[in-house]
Amino acid sequence: MKTYKIGVIGGDGIGPEVAAEAVKVLKRVQDGFALDFVNFDFSADRYLKSGELVPDKEFDEVAKLDSCILGALGDPRCAPGVLERGILFRLRFGLDLFVNLRPVKLYTEKLCPIKGKGPKDIDMLVCRENTEDAYSGEARYENKGTKNEVAIQEARYSWKGCERIIRFAFEQARKRNGKKKVTLVDKANAVRAHEIWRRVYAEVAKDFPDIQQDFAYVDATCMWFVKNPEHFDVLVTTNMFGDIITDLGAMIQGGMGIAAGGNIHPGKVSVFEPIHGSAPKYKGLKKVSPLAAILAAGMLLDHVGQPKAAARIEAAVVKVLQSDALPSIDASSGIPTDKVGDMVVAAL
C-alpha cells in the first residue's frame, strides 16, 4: 500500500487547532493508501524561546516529505514579517512552490454576500505566482533617516517565472469542467514591467487553442468579482495581485473560514493551508471554523494523487454546509472547532 509522509505545521494562534481537524479528517479517508504524519514546530513560540525559525536540518526533512499541511503563521509578539519571511517564504521560495492555487468556489448560496448570486456563478480558480514580484528581493534605501529618504522595492518578473505559472493556469483550464478560459490579471496599463506577462501569455496561449484568452486589469477584476463573478474561470496573476484578489475571493465564497489554498510545485512536496491568518484573539478558544484547513487537506490529497479521497472531503464539507446543523462559518457559529471537524468526519 502506498504510504504518504505528510508534515503538519500547526504554526501560531488558531493554526494548531484547525490543523488538528484537518489531520482528523485525513486520518478517516485513508482508503487504499496510508498517511504517515510528522509534526514540525515552526512557530512564534519556538522563535521567541530559541531564535529558531526553520533550521536547515528540518527544512531538509520537509523537502523529503510528500506534502505538508500548515495551520497559520503570525503572532503580534513578533515584528511584522519575521515569521512570514522566516517560515512561510522560506518554504515557498526554498521549495520553489511557484503556484499558489486558490479556488474561489461558492458551495452554497446562503454563504454568499452578493445578492442574487449562487454556486453556478462563483466557481473560479486563481493561479497566483508565488515566488517573484515585490515579495522577492531586498528593500533598498536612499538617504535613509532623512527627509529625502526613498525606499525602493523592486517587483521582479522573470520570463521563466511567468511562463511556468501561465502554462499551469492553461493546463488547469483544460482539465476543469469550466468555461475553458484563462484571464490574465495585471496592471499593464500602469506598471510598465507587466507587459512581460502579456508577451509570455501570448506565447503560451499558442499551445492551447482550445482555451479562450481573456485579460483584465486588477482593479477591474475586483469590480467584476462583485458585479459579475460568473465571468471568470481560471485566473493567472502576479504574487501581489493574487494575494489581494484572493481575500476578496474568499469573501464572495463565504468568508475566510472556508477559503483554502495550496503552495504547489507540481509533482513535488507542497504546502496546503487555509487562506485565513492566525487570528491570535481566538487562540485556544476553539471558536473558529476548521473548514478552510479541512478543504486544504482535500487539495493536498488531490496533489499527491488521491483525487477520490480528495473529492470525498470536499463532498463532506458541502454536506455539512448545506445542513442546518452549522448556522454559520464565522467565529460566532457557537459550534466549537473540533465539533465542526467531527461533523465533517460524520459526513464522509
CB of 124 or CB of 275, closer to ligand IPM: 275
The least distance separating ligand IPM from the CB of residue 115, rounded to whole angstroms, comes to: 27
The residue ranges that bind Mn ion (CB under 5 A) are 243
Q: Which amino acid is at 113?
A: P
CB of 203 or CB of 243, closer to Mn ion: 243
CB of 183 or CB of 238, closer to ligand IPM: 238
Tell me which residues are annotated as active site: 135, 187, 219, 243, 247
Q: How far apart are CA 7 and CA 232, in angstroms?
A: 33
CB of 8 or CB of 275, closer to ligand IPM: 275
* Angle formed at CA 8 by CA 6 and CA 14, multiple of 5 degrees: 150
CB of 88 or CB of 101, closer to ligand IPM: 88
The least distance separating ligand IPM from the CB of residue 84, rounded to whole angstroms, comes to: 4
Residue nearest ligand IPM (C-beta atom): 84
Ramachandran angles phi, psi of 237, nearest 5°: -155, 175
CB of 58 or CB of 84, closer to ligand IPM: 84
Residue 138 exposure: Cα atoms within 13 Å on the Cβ side: 2
The least distance separating ligand IPM from the CB of residue 275, rounded to whole angstroms, comes to: 6
Quote the cell numbers at residue 302.
488531490
The least distance separating ligand IPM from the CB of residue 93, rounded to whole angstroms, comes to: 11
Task: State the binding partner of 84 from Mn ion, ligand IPM, none, CB within 5 to 8 A by kind.
Answer: ligand IPM
Q: How far is CA 101 from CA 28, 130, 211, 273, 344, in A?
A: 25, 9, 19, 10, 23
* Interacting residues of 185 by C-beta distance below 8 A, sequence separation 6+: 216, 217, 218, 221, 235, 236, 237, 238, 241, 242, 245
Beta strands in 73-195 (DSSP E): 99-105, 123-129, 139-142, 150-153, 181-186
- Residues 235 and 169 sit within 8 Å (Cβ to Cβ): yes
The least distance separating ligand IPM from the CB of residue 83, rounded to whole angstroms, comes to: 8
- Residues 306 and 275 sit within 8 Å (Cβ to Cβ): no
Q: What end-to-end distance do the CA atoms of the chain give, in Å? A: 22
The least distance separating Mn ion from the CB of residue 247, rounded to whole angstroms, comes to: 6
Q: How far apart are CA 88 and CA 222, in angstroms?
A: 26
The residue ranges that bind ligand IPM (CB under 6 A) are 84, 88, 243, 275
Task: State the binding partner of 109 from ligand IPM, Mn ion, none, CB within 5 to 8 A by kind.
Answer: none
Based on DSSP, count helices (H) and strands (E) in the chain, helices before strands. Answer: 12, 12
Q: Tell which residue, 126, 131, 116, has the closest CA to residue 163.
A: 131
CB of 244 or CB of 325, closer to ligand IPM: 244
Q: Exposed, middle or buried: residue 36 (CB in 10 Å: 0-12, 13-18, 19+)?
A: exposed
Q: For 259-308, give the DSSP string.
A: -EEEEE-TTS--EEEESS---GGGTTS--S--HHHHHHHHHHHHHHT-HH
